[in-house]
Amino acid sequence: MRTPIAVAVPVAAALALAGAACSYFAEEETSPYRPPGITSEVAPLGAGRTLYERDCAWCHGSAGEGTAFGPDLNGPLDGGAYTHFMLITGRMPLEAPNERAVPAPSRYEAAQIDAIVAHVETFGGTGPDVPTPDPSAGDLTQGAELYLQNCAACHSATGAGGALTSGQEVPDLLHTSAVAVAEAMVVGPGCPNTSPTCGAGEGAMPRFELSDQDMNSIVRYVLYLQQPEDQGGAPIGRVGPVAEGAVALGVGLVVLLLAARWIGTRTGDRG
């Protein structure tokens, strides 16, 4: 019969090995990321810093220095506009570090977004500030020309978006705000690094160096696309500049085919 000491020694050794294994795996876990705690309450005073540290610092660093999971916010990428664009379009925060930043309803109220942006601006980034577009000061005709030259190839002539040959999806512009349109032009939603959390990467949409007049004109035209004046007839879902004659021809051919089938069926019945 084994003594209590003989039994206790193997048990203690097993517990020690288990503890060492747990410590090893704990040390191996170096990821700073955790899912954002959007549901917790945040006091209005100092909300920007609190929200940033709760939902953003895990990927962008406590001082915006960036990590392996997200780009820095204290350099030439961001001066406020980049963060503002990512938040109002719902691209940030991410649920997991391996997700891609895609448009979605924003998780924050406007005041919370402004607070986070104000905190990020204290990092000293030299990127563009949040723009203040004035669509009423733009020229609609000029905006249409600039849009067709620079934007329509990806976002389509009607702003409906689409897919590129590279497999990337281009968002539509039919539900976006004037500020978001202006920000997209001055910051470019692509990131200047290869982090998987930065969307499609540099070149997805380049930064445009535009005058205030050109920016206001493009913004005015994009807002026009959201509610165009369809004086030429039915917009046909605004799928593009489809001629009414082509639609009438297609409908007419379908009617002729149905009529021919009906006549043939009637003739066969009499035979």
In a domain, 48, yes or no: yes
What is the reported pLDDT for 134?
Answer: 97
In a domain, 260, yes or no: no
Do 102 and 144 belong to one domain? no
In a domain, 75, yes or no: yes
Do 144 and 57 belong to one domain? no
What is the reported pLDDT for 179?
Answer: 97
Terminal alpha carbon distance of the chain: 104
Rounded CA gap, 180 and 157, in Å?
19
What is the reported pLDDT for 189?
Answer: 75
CA angle 81, 86, 89 (to 5 degrees): 115
What is the reported pLDDT for 144?
Answer: 96
Cβ-proximal residues to 161 (8 Å cutoff; 6+ apart), any chain: 154, 155, 169, 170, 171, 172, 173
- CATH code where residue 36 lies: 1.10.760
Per-residue confidence in pLDDT tens, the chain, 271 aa? 455 455 444 545 555 555 544 444 444 444 444 555 455 566 665 799 999 999 999 889 999 999 888 889 998 889 999 999 999 999 899 887 778 788 899 999 999 999 999 999 999 999 999 999 999 999 999 999 999 999 998 899 989 888 777 667 888 999 999 999 999 999 887 655 555 445 445 556 778 889 999 999 999 999 999 988 766 666 666 665 566 677 778 888 999 999 888 887 766 555 5
With CA atoms as reference, report the closest residue to 186 among 200, 173, 158, 205: 205
What is the reported pLDDT for 200?
Answer: 44
In a domain, 12, yes or no: no
Do 116 and 145 belong to one domain? no
What is the reported pLDDT for 271?
Answer: 54
What is the reported pLDDT for 96?
Answer: 79
What domain count does the chain have?
A: 2
In a domain, 269, yes or no: no
Do 154 and 205 belong to one domain? yes
Phi, psi of 227 (to 5 degrees): -140, 70
In a domain, 61, yes or no: yes
What is the reported pLDDT for 241?
Answer: 58
State the helix-helix crossing angle for 81-88 and 110-121, rounded to 10 degrees: 150
Do 186 and 159 belong to one domain? yes
What is the domain range of residue 177?
Answer: 131-229
What is the reported pLDDT for 7?
Answer: 47
What is the reported pLDDT for 242?
Answer: 63
Do 95 and 150 belong to one domain? no
In a domain, 248, yes or no: no
Rounded CA gap, 203 and 222, in Å?
21
